[in-house]
Amino acid sequence: MAAGLEWIRLGLRVPSLIDDWFAIGYSRPALHALVHGDYSSAHVDFAGRYRPAYTAIWSYAQWHLFGQPSVTTAAMWGLIRAASFLIAIWLLARFTAPRTMACNPILWLAPVAVALTPGTAVDLVRHGSAEPIMLAGLVIGLTLVGVSVRSFLLNPETLRSTRAWTVMVSGYLLYLVGVYSKESSVCLLAFVPFIVMWLRPRWTKRLAESRLRWRLLAPVVFLLVAPLVHVAIHLAVAKSAGSDPYAGVHFSLARKLVATLVFPLIGAPGPLGTLLWLAVVPIAIAQAVSLVYRRHPDRWLVTGVLFTGFAMSAFSLARGDIPSRYYIPWLVAVAAVAVRSLPPARPLLQLALATLVIGIILPATRGAVGRWAQLEQSGSTAVEMATSVTSAGCPIYLANFDPERRVAIPRLLGFGNSIVQVPSCGRNSARAYVLSWLNAPLPQAFAQHCGSGWQEVAVRDRVNLYTCRNL
């Protein structure tokens, strides 16, 4: 599934005009600033943001680690990202499931349902969404740390095991990547009281039996909580300083409340592009309510997973904007809990259920990803047309492009090939060109500056190239 999503990226000729240009242009100085300890003051990210693992480490690895930026190399890193995200969802589903379901293949329905949700599928194909990296790092990292700590507590002899320490350190590094990939990771602090209440009956007696176990556990807890507090401090400082990466975007209080509290509970069918979660969200909530009502030992765990996922999504949704990627933490939590409510069934029935879920969402997913790919092809064509014009020494203007694409095209000119024959412009030439996005007509205020009239040179992938002999 991860390979299928990333295969679409291999058909693109140029990095995306959305997100990729930022990663290519800013990841190298961001990594330099991070290594030298001045990341916060280096202005390598939007004001008020603090996500060094994404901006510096991940983006640098994806675009610069193995030489010059390459769409193919970036797609390979994207494959790792998507696969890690799917594995993380499965691990969370297995963690929340009862022991009788620990090895049940039906648990794979959770990552499949999340990844094939139309909006989420597009977010996975895009390389700019940090939520998959955040969740993969947090879940896989905590899993490895948890396995190591458990072995240390149950068998102190493993403290001498190089393998156990390797797993521990690797898990903690992945955890740090997750924490510092997006600011909403700070909401993991909300999970702390739930996990403590869930583990309390099991570990209180064991910890009381040995001071060594307390000495082992205390530093681990500190190392896990400290990065979250660090992110929280950065956010508080940025807030007090008035730093806002979205200062130009304002929504009403009603819009913010609906986006934060209502849309997640009804499955956000608009942003996600499917009605599937309108049915799955109540199932997950009912499962948690049932466990609380029956005072089941797992009630704290399941409730904590749902609450933390909701908090992470609400953190981003609170400003009122509702892109599909903001719902990813909530979908992951809902999927992991909802799978728990499925009764053990024969393989044939499990296959039928999985086929039904996939059949419901797959057509919409293919359409959403296809539309995204068409838009990206248009972006590649725009860069290549602009490259053709600038290679001839001619000035070019951009019309009807949104702000991010306007900023991206000049930064990606080195990636495009010349696809249009453009005569060379001399030093005193008055000839100029303009690109128009998605077949939109030129703005009247701009078009009237060409007395001889704009002549169409080429039209490809809904991108128009016009020229004016005397602008």
Averaged over 259-283, what is the pLDDT? Answer: 94
Cα separation, 127 vs 325, whole angstroms: 12
Q: What is the pLDDT of residue 159?
A: 78
Averaged over 56-60, what is the pLDDT? Answer: 95
Confidence of residue 386 (pLDDT cuts 50, 70, 90): very high
Please tell me the least confidently modeled range out of 289-293, 327-331, 362-366: 362-366
Q: What is the pLDDT of residue 247?
A: 58
Q: What are the Cα distances from residue 343, in Å, to 100, 181, 331, 454?
A: 10, 36, 21, 67
pTM beyond 0.95: no
Cα separation, 98 vs 343, whole angstroms: 11
For the cut 70, the answer to whether the pLDDT of residue 345 exceeds it is: no
Whose structure tokens read 């990226």?
9
The secondary structure of residue 342, as a DSSP letter, is: S
Q: What is the pLDDT of residue 175?
A: 98
Q: What is the pLDDT of residue 41?
A: 67
Q: What is the pLDDT of residue 138?
A: 98
For the cut 70, the answer to whether the pLDDT of residue 42 exceeds it is: no
Read off the pLDDT of residues 123-141 as tens digits, 9 standing for 90 and up: 999 998 999 999 999 999 9
Q: What is the pLDDT of residue 470?
A: 86
- Give the DSSP H/E element, type plus range, for residue 205: helix 192-208
For the cut 80, the answer to whether the pLDDT of residue 446 exceeds it is: yes
CB 339 within 8 A of CB 110: yes
Please tell me the least confidently modeled range out of 206-220, 327-341, 449-463: 206-220
Question: Residue 463: beta bridge partners?
Answer: 437, 460
Structure tokens at 106: 């039906």
CB-based contacts of 415, cutoff 8 Å, min separation 6: 13, 14, 15, 69, 71, 383
Higher pLDDT, 154 or 403: 403
Q: What is the pLDDT of residue 105?
A: 82
Structure tokens at 200: 């309390």
CB 50 within 8 A of CB 234: yes
For the cut 70, the answer to whether the pLDDT of residue 320 exceeds it is: yes
- Give the DSSP H/E element, type plus range, for residue 453: none
Cα separation, 230 vs 188, whole angstroms: 13
Q: Sheet containing 455-460: give its strands across.
A: 396-399, 432-437, 463-468, 455-460
Q: What is the pLDDT of residue 94?
A: 94
Confidence of residue 71 (pLDDT cuts 50, 70, 90): very high
For the cut 80, the answer to whether the pLDDT of residue 2 exceeds it is: no
